[in-house]
Amino acid sequence: MADIPEHFPPTRAAALTRLEAFAPKTAGQYAKGRNVDFGAGRHEAVSTLSPYIRARLLTEPEVARAALDHHRAADADKFLSEVFWRTYWKGWMELRPAVWQMYRADLNRLADEVQTQSGLRQRWEDACLGRTGIAPFDGWAKELTQTGYLHNHARMWFASIWIFTLKLPWQLGADFFLRHLLDGDAAVNTLSWRWVAGIQTVGKTYLATESNIAKFTDGRFTSVPGLASDAPAIAYPPNPAAGLLPPAAPLPLVARHGVLLHGDDCDPAPLRINDMPPLTFGYLDATQGHSPWQMAPHVAAFRRAAARDRAPDLSVMDSAEGIALWAQKHQLDQIVTPYAPVGPVQDVLQAYRARPDALPLNQRRRDFEEAAWPLATKGFFPFRKHIPDLVNRFVRGQGTFSLAAG
Ligand SMILES: Cc1cc2nc3c(=O)[nH]c(=O)nc-3n(C[C@H](O)[C@H](O)[C@H](O)COP(=O)(O)OP(=O)(O)OC[C@H]3O[C@@H](n4cnc5c(N)ncnc54)[C@H](O)[C@@H]3O)c2cc1C
């Protein structure tokens, strides 16, 4: 626990307490205050629930339900929209997995360039260590590495300054975030950086300005000289067309099965294993697959502790080989695991599947994700039209798991 920032106890009980405390504020108070970055330790205008949602200690329907217990949907509209932005980004990436692969290939190339080009290395190190001389930017770099969290507006300004003022590759910035954010997510992070860079919504970039930073930082940064005055879109291959979500293909549970949790979903409760308890629990730590560089220890520690909160007695593994050894040791016939969306966990599970000794992987996807992700075929605004229906089905009803392709 020593590695985990104090503000984020990695338990579902802590997540529920925070949700309960924030739910009354999800209407006007949130809409009014959510854009202001009050600084480290003062993020009361936003929920700071993202690390819990990221690890599935909370789900989007649960968070939305808590808001609707206090407010009418129309009054909590801004908060609900933000919660569903996450769902949208997850679905968008799920339908276009090549975008994650392209990003990873870019990073490997850039890791070589950082090694061989001393000028680039210096500028990259200065940005990551908060030594650029741009006061708010340097402050956010330090806040991120020390606390594992940044306010949404700070993330936007930071990404914009990284790309358009410091002229560093957006992929290195996305990587810096993924290495330190407790909520760092292959889909949400990559696509948000692409959005700032003008790749995601073609030609639409985000420019951080001195006046906007001054207005929304509670008087902390009234003068920020030297920022870029324009933000020309970064050239990049066009967005791939949306494909299909892997079809659901139920695998019946067998007696000799183990449950494999991971950082994308730490919660075994909805896996419907109650009638046939697993022989063993495992946890796949795929954190290192996020980056060619060392990950901040708090990221892996938070997710692993979150899984331990849900299943105290579990073995930890970090590779396809580790899964195979775990399965052999317990003489399993099947591995049951929550569905892993596009990202490092899925990459390791695919490597496991390719092994000659691989067992059937019974991957279970939540009904909510099954229904919501395929709707992310275009932009957020067409997706948004489906929110009332998703709310009626999954927020006012009870979400469960269904079975997806193994
Ligand atoms: C460059 C950049 C990188 C980002 N990387 C990530 C990331 O890796 N993981 C991540 O979860 N979010 C990411 N975000 C989105 C957003 O900044 C965070 O979700 C939010 O700041 C989390 O704080 P909160 O829980 O207090 O949010 P709140 O404002 O309280 O919102 C409630 C929940 O809604 C969701 N949410 C809120 N804003 C957004 C948004 N803009 N996009 C998607 N979902 C949102 C989150 O799950 C959040 O917990 C990124 C944004 C930018 C601009």
pLDDT digit string, tens, across residues 208-262 = 999 999 999 999 999 999 999 999 999 999 999 999 998 756 689 999 999 999 9
Nearest protein Cα to ligand 1, atom 21: 152
Contact 188, 89 (CB under 8 A): yes
Contacts of residue 90, defined as CB under 8 A and 6 or more positions apart, other chains included, come to 185, 187, 188, 341, 369, 373, 376
Q: What is the pLDDT of residue 250?
A: 62
**What number of residues does the chain have?**
406
The answer on 172 and 278 residing in a single domain is no
The answer on 272 and 200 residing in a single domain is no
The answer on 104 and 206 residing in a single domain is yes
Q: What is the pLDDT of residue 204?
A: 95
Residue with tokens 């075994």: 268
Could you give the CA distance from residue 381 to residue 301 in angstroms, rounded to a whole number? 36
CATH of the domain at 185: 1.10.579.10
Nearest protein Cα to ligand 1, atom 19: 50
The answer on 121 and 201 residing in a single domain is yes
Task: Check if 78 has its Cβ closer than 6 Å to any atom of ligand 1.
Answer: no
Could you give the CA distance from residue 205 to residue 227 in angstroms, rounded to a whole number? 15
The neighbour count for residue 147, using CB atoms within 10 Å, is 20
For the chain, the first-to-last Cα distance in angstroms comes to 34
Q: Which domain holds residue 295?
A: 257-367
pTM of the predicted model as reported, rounded to 2 decimal places = 0.96
Q: What is the pLDDT along the chain (406 residues), one digit of tens a residue?
A: 668 889 999 999 999 999 999 999 999 999 999 999 999 999 999 999 999 999 999 999 999 999 999 999 999 999 999 999 999 999 999 999 999 999 999 999 999 999 999 999 999 999 999 999 999 999 999 999 999 999 999 999 999 999 999 999 999 999 999 999 999 999 999 999 999 999 999 889 999 999 999 999 999 999 999 999 999 999 999 999 999 998 756 689 999 999 999 999 999 987 878 889 999 999 999 999 999 999 999 999 999 999 999 999 999 999 999 999 999 999 999 999 999 999 999 999 999 999 999 999 999 999 999 999 999 999 999 999 999 999 999 998 755 544 443 3
Which residue from 188, 369, 395 has its CB within 8 A of the most atoms of ligand 1, so it is best to mutate?
Answer: 188
Q: What is the pLDDT of residue 398?
A: 53
Choose one of 158, 193, 215: the last residue of a domain.
Answer: 215
Using DSSP's 3-state secondary structure scheme, residue 277 falls into: coil
Residue with tokens 């927020």: 395
151 domain residue, yes or no: yes
Q: Which two tokens stand for residue 78?
A: 């801004």
Could you give the CA distance from residue 149 to residue 177 in angstroms, rounded to a whole number? 9
2 domain residue, yes or no: no
360 domain residue, yes or no: yes
Task: Check if 107 has its Cβ closer than 6 Å to any atom of ligand 1.
Answer: no
Task: Check if 189 has its Cβ closer than 6 Å to any atom of ligand 1.
Answer: yes
51 domain residue, yes or no: no
Write the CA distances from 400 to 231, 257, 267, 309, 357, integer angstroms.
Answer: 44, 20, 12, 20, 31
Instruction: Kindly report the backbone phi and psi dihedral angles of residue 315, in degrees, each rounded to the nearest multiple of 5, phi listed first.
Output: -90, 140
Q: Please give the helix or strand (H or E) that residue 67 lies within, else none.
A: helix 60-70
Rounded distance from Cα 249 to ligand 1 centre (Å): 32
How many separate domains does the chain show? 2
The answer on 192 and 286 residing in a single domain is no
Nearest protein Cα to ligand 1, atom 48: 50
Task: Check if 239 has its Cβ closer than 6 Å to any atom of ligand 1.
Answer: no
290 domain residue, yes or no: yes
Nearest protein Cα to ligand 1, atom 49: 50
Residues paired with residue 316 on neighbouring β-strands, in sequence order:
283
Task: Check if 188 has its Cβ closer than 6 Å to any atom of ligand 1.
Answer: yes
The answer on 266 and 179 residing in a single domain is no
Which residue from 50, 78, 149 has its CB within 8 A of the most atoms of ligand 1, so it is best to mutate?
Answer: 50
CATH of the domain at 340: 3.40.50.620
Task: Check if 137 has its Cβ closer than 6 Å to any atom of ligand 1.
Answer: no
Which residue from 83, 152, 196, 287 has its CB within 8 A of the most atoms of ligand 1, so it is best to mutate?
Answer: 152
The answer on 105 and 157 residing in a single domain is yes
Rounded distance from Cα 220 to ligand 1 centre (Å): 22
Rounded distance from Cα 79 to ligand 1 centre (Å): 11
355 domain residue, yes or no: yes
85 domain residue, yes or no: no
103 domain residue, yes or no: yes
